Amino acid sequence: MQIKKIKLQNYRNYDNFEIDLGQNLNIIIGNNAQGKTNLLESIYVLAVTKSFLSINDKGLIKFNNKFAKISGEITNNLSRNNKLEIIFSDKGKVVKVNGKEIKKLSDYISIVNVIIFSTDNIRIFKESPNSRRKYFNIEISQINKNYLKYLSEYNILLKQRNEFLKVMNINKKSDLDYLDILNDKYVDLSIEISNYRKRYVDDINEYLSDMFKYITGMDGLILKYHTNIDEDKSVFKEKLISNLNKELIYKMTLIGPNRDDFYFKLDDKNLSLYGSQGQMRSAVLALKLSEVKLFNDKTGDSPILLLDDIFSELDIEKRNNLLSTLSNNVQTVITTTDMENITEDIRKKANVYEIDDGNIISIQKNNEDGEVNGK
């Protein structure tokens, strides 16, 4: 999958902007605050309909303007071309494919797949388990549509169950048969979700340690899934029943996917607790590259890889290691303030665009774009 062209109108610090991207490595270079992250963000927004940064949709509109528009041309591995468009205004957002408005956002979101690495991702592994669950929910949904279905059913059920616990807390003689029905459904959905998460982590681990080794030279990185769900339905249900008194005190469900967590282990130690910042950064990068591989395995197509500011904190050797692990078949967009000591080999493979105050001031095209762009 690749994005051939992107156009921005009143988007962040851009007025009217257009860029043609190459099918392999694209490097966006520029000083601080020139719009590198904004450009990367716009590709993400076109795919996902919202930013990866904590900002609401209105924040994407250029200051003192009424709307923002992103349009892009996307090709997938079947050479199917789609023109995508997203418009933000006071009235909310509108998405269009080939000129036709799409009402259901979930239909739209499945068209383009992107994987983004940004400094924000590193925070996820330092924050509460909730942000990690959110993160992995999105990642797992990208390759399994059913997962999203189970997850939304689960969320509705969890709410119902929590409401009922509150009722029970006040009225001790509540309908226990109803709780039993909720519990049965709860057990089924929890195990389903847990199995998806387990499988995803196993799949990622097929690649993760190799990727980490490429970048850092270190062995032994694994992703861990922590859960209190029991795979055996009856054991799980018993656990729910025996925990009821505690749940009544807290007025919420204490066992299930809502309590899961994910973490990195390096040399058998929790990386969030014992790892250096650089190791954490490399671990998240390795995770992203593994996600690309996994996505490719599962769907036969590659997502678009967006890497924001990856060079800071990576020493020169690791920069080049990282760049040489990027596969030729994955369209990649990288932002950086400097190309210091990037080897000639890698430069030769890349298109380099220099950005200044929301404009392209120079382009150096080296990609061989013949096949796809030449049509």
Ligand X SMILES: Nc1ncnc2c1ncn2[C@@H]1O[C@H](COP(=O)(O)OP(=O)(O)OP(=O)(O)O)[C@@H](O)[C@H]1O
Interface residues toward Mg ion, by CB under 5 A? 36-37
Q: For residues 59 and 220, which CB has a smaller minimum distance to ligand X in the complex?
A: 59
| Cα separation, 208 vs 218, whole angstroms | 12
Contact 68, 59 (CB under 8 A): no
Q: What distances in angstroms separate CA 153 from CA 149, 156, 193, 228, one per listed residue? A: 6, 5, 10, 20
Query: Which residues make Cβ contacts (< 8 Å) with residue 278, sequence separation at least 6?
Result: 313, 314
- Residue 337 in the binding site for ligand X (CB under 6 A): yes
Q: Does 281 bind ligand X (CB under 6 A)?
A: no
Closest separation in Å from C-beta 66 to ligand X = 12
N- to C-terminal Cα distance for the chain?
16
Binding partner at 373 among Mg ion, ligand X, none, C-beta below 5 to 8 Å by kind: none
13 binds, among ligand X, Mg ion, none (CB under 5 to 8 A by kind): ligand X
* Per-position DSSP letters for 260-284, written without gaps between them: -EEEEEETTEEHHHH--HHHHHHHH
Q: Are strands 14-20 and 114-117 parallel, antiparallel or unpaired?
A: unpaired
User: Is residue 162 within the footprint of ligand X (CB under 6 A)?
Assistant: no
- Closer of 62 and 197 to ligand X (Cβ): 62
Q: Please pick, from the candidates 15, 16, 18, 33, the single residue that binds ligand X as defined by CB under 6 A.
A: 33
Closer residue to Mg ion, CB minimum distance, 45 or 168: 45
Strands (E), the chain: 2-11, 14-20, 25-29, 67-75, 81-89, 92-97, 100-101, 114-117, 221-226, 261-266, 269-270, 304-307, 332-336, 350-356, 359-364
Using the rule CB under 6 A, which residue among 3, 6, 7, 12 binds ligand X?
12
22 contributes a contact to ligand X by CB under 6 A: no
Length of the chain: 375
# residues near ligand X by CB under 6 A: 16
* Piece in contact with ligand X (CB under 6 A), picked from 56-64, 104-112, 199-207, 254-262: 56-64
Considering the complex, state which of residue 34 and residue 253 has its C-beta at the smaller distance from ligand X: 34
Least spacing, CB of residue 6 vs ligand X, in Å: 14
State the DSSP H helix or E strand holding residue 322, giving kind and residue range, or none if neither: helix 316-325
Tokens representing 148 are 């999203």
Using the rule CB under 6 A, which residue among 37, 216, 227, 253 binds ligand X? 37
Contact set for ligand X, span 75-94 (CB under 6 A)? none
Segment lying near ligand X (by CB under 6 A), choices 55-63, 167-175, 183-191, 250-258: 55-63
By CB under 6 A, is residue 62 in contact with ligand X? yes
Spatial CA neighbour of 115 closest among 290, 319, 262, 355? 290
- Decide whether 117 or 186 has the Cβ nearer to ligand X: 117
266 neighbors 205 (Cβ within 8 angstroms): no
Q: Which stretch, 57-65, 172-180, 235-243, 339-347, contacts ligand X (CB under 6 A)?
A: 57-65
Question: Smaller CB distance to ligand X: residue 247 or 308?
Answer: 308
Q: Which stretch binds ligand X (CB under 6 A): 26-34, 175-183, 195-203, 255-263?
A: 26-34
Residues of this chain that interact with ligand X (CB under 6 A) are 12-13, 30, 32-38, 59, 61-63, 309, 337
